[in-house]
Amino acid sequence: MPDKTALVVSAHSADFVWRCGGAIALHAEKGCDVTVVCLSYGERGESAKLWKEGGMTLDRVKTERRKEAEAAARALDVHDIRFFDLGDYPLVMDQDAKFRLVDVIREVMPSFMLTHSTWDPYNPDHMLTLQWTLECRAIAQAWGHNPGQAVLGAPQVYLFEPHQTEQMNWKPDVFLDITPVWDRKWAAIQCMQGQEHLWSFYRNAAENRANHFQRNSGGQSGGRAAKYAEGFQSVFPRTVDEL
Amino acid sequence: MPDKTALVVSAHSADFVWRCGGAIALHAEKGCDVTVVCLSYGERGESAKLWKEGGMTLDRVKTERRKEAEAAARALDVHDIRFFDLGDYPLVMDQDAKFRLVDVIREVMPSFMLTHSTWDPYNPDHMLTLQWTLECRAIAQAWGHNPGQAVLGAPQVYLFEPHQTEQMNWKPDVFLDITPVWDRKWAAIQCMQGQEHLWSFYRNAAENRANHFQRNSGGQSGGRAAKYAEGFQSVFPRTVDEL
Amino acid sequence: MPDKTALVVSAHSADFVWRCGGAIALHAEKGCDVTVVCLSYGERGESAKLWKEGGMTLDRVKTERRKEAEAAARALDVHDIRFFDLGDYPLVMDQDAKFRLVDVIREVMPSFMLTHSTWDPYNPDHMLTLQWTLECRAIAQAWGHNPGQAVLGAPQVYLFEPHQTEQMNWKPDVFLDITPVWDRKWAAIQCMQGQEHLWSFYRNAAENRANHFQRNSGGQSGGRAAKYAEGFQSVFPRTVDEL
Amino acid sequence: MPDKTALVVSAHSADFVWRCGGAIALHAEKGCDVTVVCLSYGERGESAKLWKEGGMTLDRVKTERRKEAEAAARALDVHDIRFFDLGDYPLVMDQDAKFRLVDVIREVMPSFMLTHSTWDPYNPDHMLTLQWTLECRAIAQAWGHNPGQAVLGAPQVYLFEPHQTEQMNWKPDVFLDITPVWDRKWAAIQCMQGQEHLWSFYRNAAENRANHFQRNSGGQSGGRAAKYAEGFQSVFPRTVDEL
Amino acid sequence: MPDKTALVVSAHSADFVWRCGGAIALHAEKGCDVTVVCLSYGERGESAKLWKEGGMTLDRVKTERRKEAEAAARALDVHDIRFFDLGDYPLVMDQDAKFRLVDVIREVMPSFMLTHSTWDPYNPDHMLTLQWTLECRAIAQAWGHNPGQAVLGAPQVYLFEPHQTEQMNWKPDVFLDITPVWDRKWAAIQCMQGQEHLWSFYRNAAENRANHFQRNSGGQSGGRAAKYAEGFQSVFPRTVDEL
Amino acid sequence: MPDKTALVVSAHSADFVWRCGGAIALHAEKGCDVTVVCLSYGERGESAKLWKEGGMTLDRVKTERRKEAEAAARALDVHDIRFFDLGDYPLVMDQDAKFRLVDVIREVMPSFMLTHSTWDPYNPDHMLTLQWTLECRAIAQAWGHNPGQAVLGAPQVYLFEPHQTEQMNWKPDVFLDITPVWDRKWAAIQCMQGQEHLWSFYRNAAENRANHFQRNSGGQSGGRAAKYAEGFQSVFPRTVDEL
């Protein structure tokens, strides 16, 4: 898979770890360069533990969050991680920020993209990220945007698993076996010192998705065992030569 | 693909031609044995042209419809075609008929199945076929059904394209390039002498799905041209080792 | 409208009054023959008040309910009312009953049909009635059903207003002004001695639908006033020569 | 809660354990009598491990499954468990069986009911169980069914958690803290010797639902910790005197 | 209920009256402080009657609308009413206005919130209000927003009844008996001199919701009578200790 | 139809041709003045063929696209075409642009409007156009917007056919026979020199919609033949005096 690349668009700097850390590590291991864009550090809305400590400032929180994200990225063998530092709660993406993301998309030319789900009443940052990602994908396909630059094809966009799947109307249509790289994902998860309350949550989720993997690959009759898996929802239809 | 097999469950004897003739011929060409079960001949509800001729009886209509279906099956290189002759409008599947379909499923052990969509206010036979197919798939997975017999795994079920897609809440998530076998599908379509008004409809549909194929495989930037395609909606999630 | 006919399929003998009494009376007034089929009398499940009286038997309840329905039908100028007496709670429609309904459909050759909504967790009789009506409509279109008989075209099926619209996933796409015949509907409603607790409910509903009528016909700027209206949800697309 | 009663309708004899064992034990502890109806033993379709042993017969499987279910019921302090023995894969509920369930409903007069979700392409037995339960609930409300018998009010119906929630279109709207009775649920789970592969799956699920409980009860600011929880989807609206 | 507080976010200054006036008065009576935020006066889009009078200016309309809203608030015993005066048709909420709403949320620390539904093709102001309210709720939960300030928990958000419920995809899951405070709501409604055409509409709606209240609390068997009710749709799951 | 007017809101300058060229020409022929607003030229995102030529600039592309659109408008007998030149990919409509569209709406006072569908993950410009159109329709109805100006009534908004109907959740509820004006639509299509790959796609679509027209107008029994048709989805309910 040396020619394959992938792009993750993460609203806050920890989202890529919980939600698709396995997919990142697995594809990295296969030789696929995975780039992660963190639109914000989640410094205001997803750093409660840090804020509960004394004497914290926005800059210190951002620094801590960045360190954690970079450590996790190393654990997952991320090719490149970019921090857009757009602020969070609310995360706002103006035209400049959109064009910046388009630049990254065209630079990476991803074979597929990973981002948030379409609806999230708990966290509008997440659902806006999906809207913006679709918008930037469309701009990257436009021949009239930076004419002369190579133009994006039609990469699949996978929506990774949100925190409360059913409340977000998220329905996975593909399960990925991440057993071979679980150690990496678990190491990356443990980099998230500020959100320790979520560690076992996402280990449980990975184990249960492995159960779904086995069920959908044959169940009690030829189903392939997997110990850890991740689920994704595709936005676009696939094009195939064989069912 | 010598070990792959497929099973099509067709409510009426012409459905498999319009809706997945390309998929059948394509997989046959790759060495996959495709079995077709026609639950009825469509003798009452889908043979208007024959009935408009003078002196028709139910038996004559069924004979004609069977001939057409067999000719189409030959054109598509169907491995085996079974006629359950359950009657249509309404199509009724009692427990015996269900067990008969379970027997075929276990005999074929399909790698994937193809059948009708979930909702069809024009034609309840179609939507009941999907219900029954799911039910029979579950029975074929039951270790206590004919104990000792080999048990079905978890084949994907693809819903093929209905006549008015939007009214049937059908949404394709996979497009299959059938260009290499279009001649076969077109030949099979022409076997359906009683429904000539649908020939060009399904040729148009195949051409337009090819446009969708190209759009989703890259569009104006690297999209692969296809002249004919078919669309399918998956019922179950896929299990993969790579996105 | 002398050539127009309509057919109402009512699960229980009072449903046609509350839910489309205005449509019936209005079309009758325009010269359209409206036939009502009551699949049951609602004798078990919708006659609480009668059962609370002493000494009631199933036959007596059915007799009372029939009288009420006939009186209401007269008030609405129903052309013909048929009682299938299939029983209720549960209402069961076997193949014979279905063919009996097909016979009525072909006899009436309705320009449009009216029946219950698709989902009703309170009252499965209602949602099954829609399923059966669609099935019988399809059979009535089949050239091989009673060959030689004239075959049904493609009448619209309107789902009339259920008791708790939002719980039944019912969404009206057409509002009918029934102001000119409200007196008839109100008279018919008052025939339902056993369900007096619903009288004002359906008057309120008619008044509020009139508000929706006005809002959708122009609101504060040219909206046409209506005092009473009914709402319907179409199952099938319309075919028109002008938008 | 001495006057409260509850009724669980379980398609197969183990469903009530995984899906609402906590709710059962919790309400039992509060003095609520919980009755469980197992429509089948799951002897054909959910007993793979038993069938893989040598020399098994349908009767032996049913006996084993019944023993397990009874042991689990004891662990959960179920008030009464009834086995309808209707067969599974497919589970079929004829009119007699429905009336039998109506009898139980009227005997128990449940304050609330628990059963399966509305859609399950993996397992039609499950979704039919919901249909039948709604139908029987309606019959139990009918004054004309066994006139003179006390008539059912309008108990809530909760859909318990299916195996793959997103594939079944199941969306929980209530989370129940089952921490105080987790030991009982875990003991009941361990009675299911034939399905050991599901033990940790449902422990993980309970832990993760506890995370959702805490998130929805206040999250990082006053959210109440829970170690184990279960989720349910309500079919009907609630009626309250205070929001 | 002395510790309970509630917050209503009303797009235009009359919305809180029609849609949740009963809930406000009822909770006020129980000792709950209810604060209302009116994002605009509805001066451009919901004051047709005033504009039809001669010599009207935007300021005069706003003054009139404010007077009506204040009078209604008094009738309902609203604890506090704030006018954000953001303009309407279109209503636009910039970052400052959002932070202003966040301030109110943190000041009130509502036990629950009430606002508009998710979809409204007639009135985008309404659906944007829900989006903004969810966004502001999330910001109010962020520890990094005004660090040191007390942080919001996870109050339920109830969507109150829109004008055409089915067109707005609104589905109530809770009915509140407002009979004890109907007089207050009716008085508040009559403060809305500019929209007299809606008075009887919302009285009818309250009466019919009372019918739904009774139906869902037991119907013909133990259903509790209510004369007036309001319906609400919950955005988030509930967390409970008992079903 | 001399008093009827219609307004088309087209995100890019070619959309009105493919998606509702038949409706435009047909209504023009009946004496209805049809105005088209092109929010952008589609100069960046829908002009790949032009950009692939050497030496292109944004201005040249816009000029070419405008010429094509004007030629197509002439072929369809469009009454008036306005170019807002707002830019595309992304198309952004600020408050000034919205008020400009409101001005056009009030000037035209359309009997009905035509625009894009609600969801389009391929092309956010399209779905935002629908949002803005609904917003501007509401503003045009506001008595306080430019007081003294005549106020808009409640014109239907029809969503025209997107490129991949099922992916956009678009479901037509009305089919319009455009056979009498097909020559005009075909001529207009051929004006789109830059998108020749779509010509046959939309001819096929028109032919297949004609098949749907016939099916829904009676099918094999009295269905009216049509050679070309267009489909539309209504946003609002209709108000009628007859079903």
Residue range E177-197, pLDDT digits in tens = 999 999 999 999 999 988 888
pLDDT tens digits, residue range A100-132?
999 999 999 999 999 999 999 999 999 999 999
Could you tell me if residue C45 is inside a domain?
yes
Residue of E nearest to F95 (CA): E90
In the prediction, which pLDDT does A196 show?
87
- SS3 state at E34: strand
In the prediction, which pLDDT does C194 show?
81
pLDDT tens digits, residue range F102-147?
999 999 999 999 999 999 999 999 999 999 999 999 999 999 999 9
- Residue holding tokens 């993950």? F121
Burial degree of E123 (CB within 10 A; 0-12, 13-18, 19+): buried
Distance from CA of D43 to the nearest CA of B (A): 7
Could you tell me if residue E242 is inside a domain?
no
Question: What is the Cα–Cα distance from B140 to B150, expressed in whole angstroms?
Answer: 9
pLDDT-based confidence at residue C1 (cuts at 50, 70, 90): low
Q: Which chains touch F (3 or more CB pairs under 8 A)?
A: A, B, C, E
Q: How many helices (H) and strands (E) does chain F have?
A: 7, 8
All residues of chain B having their beta carbon less than 8 Å from the beta carbon of residue C149 are none
- Residue holding tokens 């361990």? D190
Could you tell me if residue B134 is inside a domain?
yes
Helices E199-216 + E182-190 axis angle, to 10: 160
Among candidate residues C164, C174, C196, C165, the one with its CA nearest the CA of residue C17: C196
Could you tell me if residue C23 is inside a domain?
yes
CATH of the domain at A186: 3.40.50.10320
D143 and C89 within 8 Å at the Cβ level: the answer is no
Question: What is the Cα–Cα distance from F180 to F232, expressed in whole angstroms?
Answer: 18
Instruction: Respond yes or no on whether ipTM tops 0.90.
Output: yes
Q: What is the mean pLDDT of chain C?
A: 96
All residues of chain B having their beta carbon less than 8 Å from the beta carbon of residue F171 are 166-167
In the prediction, which pLDDT does A51 show?
95
pLDDT tens digits, residue range C165-213?
999 999 999 999 999 999 999 999 999 988 888 999 999 999 999 999 9
A243 and B156 within 8 Å at the Cβ level: the answer is yes
Interface test with F, best of B18, B53, B211 (most F CBs within 10 A): B211
pLDDT-based confidence at residue A1 (cuts at 50, 70, 90): low
pLDDT-based confidence at residue A23 (cuts at 50, 70, 90): very high
- Residue holding tokens 């549909």? B205
In the prediction, which pLDDT does A232 show?
98
Backbone φ, ψ for residue E129 (5° rounding): -60, -40
Q: Using the predicted structure, report yes or no on whether residue C216 has a pLDDT greater than 90.
A: yes
Looking at residues E4-24, what average pLDDT do you find?
Answer: 97
Q: Is the pTM of this model over 0.90?
A: yes
Q: How many helices (H) and strands (E) does chain C have?
A: 7, 8
- CB within 8 A of C231, min separation 6: which ones? C161, C172, C174, C175, C176, C209, C212, F237
β A229-234/E80-83 pair status = unpaired
Token reading at F173: 């509820």
F143 and E89 within 8 Å at the Cβ level: the answer is no
Could you tell me if residue D35 is inside a domain?
yes
Q: Using the predicted structure, report yes or no on whether residue A233 has a pLDDT greater than 90.
A: yes
In the prediction, which pLDDT does D21 show?
98
- SS3 state at B180: helix
In the prediction, which pLDDT does D1 show?
59
Could you tell me if residue A200 is inside a domain?
no
In the prediction, which pLDDT does F222 show?
86
Q: What is the mean pLDDT of chain B?
A: 96
- Is there a contact between C181 and C29 (Cβ–Cβ < 8 Å)? yes
Q: What is the mean pLDDT of chain A?
A: 96
Backbone φ, ψ for residue B87 (5° rounding): 85, 160
Question: What is the Cα–Cα distance from D164 to A63, expressed in whole angstroms?
Answer: 39
Q: Side chain identity at A65, as an amino acid letter? A: R
Encode D65-76: b = buried (16+ Cβ within 10 Å), e = exposed: bbebbbbbbebb
Q: Side chain identity at A211, as an amino acid letter? A: N
Longest CA span, chain B: 60
B19 HSE (CA, 13 A, CB side): 27
Q: Which of A219, A238, A243 sits opposite B23 (nearest CB)?
A: A243
B123 and C138 within 8 Å at the Cβ level: the answer is yes
Interface test with C, best of D94, D100, D135, D157 (most C CBs within 10 A): D135
Peptide bond into D90 cis (omega under 30): yes
- SS3 state at F221: coil
- SS3 state at F11: coil
Looking at residues C110-127, what average pLDDT do you find?
Answer: 97
* Angle, CA A175 vertex, CA A169 and CA A177 arms, to 5°: 145
C239 and F221 within 8 Å at the Cβ level: the answer is no
H/E stretch holding F182 reads helix F182-190
DSSP letter assigned to residue B69:
H
Could you tell me if residue E148 is inside a domain?
yes
pLDDT-based confidence at residue F1 (cuts at 50, 70, 90): low
Residue of A nearest to D233 (CA): A166
Could you tell me if residue E232 is inside a domain?
no
Could you tell me the strand order of the sheet in which D80-83 lies?
Answer: D80-83, D33-38, D5-10, D112-115, D156-160, D229-234, D174-177, E238-240
Q: Using the predicted structure, report yes or no on whether residue E235 has a pLDDT greater than 90.
A: yes
- SS3 state at B188: helix
In chain E, the number of structural domains is 1
β C229-234/C174-177 pair status = antiparallel
A51 HSE (CA, 13 A, CB side): 22
pLDDT tens digits, residue range A83-92?
999 999 999 9
Looking at residues D53-59, what average pLDDT do you find?
Answer: 92
- Is there a contact between C166 and E172 (Cβ–Cβ < 8 Å)? yes
pLDDT-based confidence at residue A197 (cuts at 50, 70, 90): confident
pLDDT: which is higher, C237 or A1? C237
Question: What is the Cα–Cα distance from D168 to E31, expressed in whole angstroms?
Answer: 42
Backbone φ, ψ for residue E8 (5° rounding): -110, 130
Question: What is the Cα–Cα distance from D190 to B126, expressed in whole angstroms?
Answer: 43
Question: What is the Cα–Cα distance from B130 to E41, expressed in whole angstroms?
Answer: 53
Question: What is the Cα–Cα distance from C115 to A153, expressed in whole angstroms?
Answer: 49
pLDDT: which is higher, F43 or F194? F43
Interface test with A, best of D44, D160, D208 (most A CBs within 10 A): D208
Looking at residues F178-188, what average pLDDT do you find?
Answer: 98
Encode B6-16: b = buried (16+ Cβ within 10 Å), e = exposed: bbbbbbbbbbb
Lowest mean pLDDT among A182-191, B194-203, D9-18, F161-170: B194-203
β C229-234/C156-160 pair status = antiparallel
Among candidate residues E228, A210, F161, the one with its CA nearest the CA of residue C237: F161
Q: Using the predicted structure, report yes or no on whether residue F166 has a pLDDT greater than 80.
A: yes
Q: Using the predicted structure, report yes or no on whether residue E1 has a pLDDT greater than 80.
A: no
Task: Quote the percentage of chain F above a pLDDT of 90.
Answer: 94
Q: How many CB atoms lie within 10 A of CB C57?
A: 11
* Angle, CA D149 vertex, CA D145 and CA D151 arms, to 5°: 75
* Range(s) of the domain holding residue A129: 5-194
In the prediction, which pLDDT does A2 show?
61
- SS3 state at C239: strand
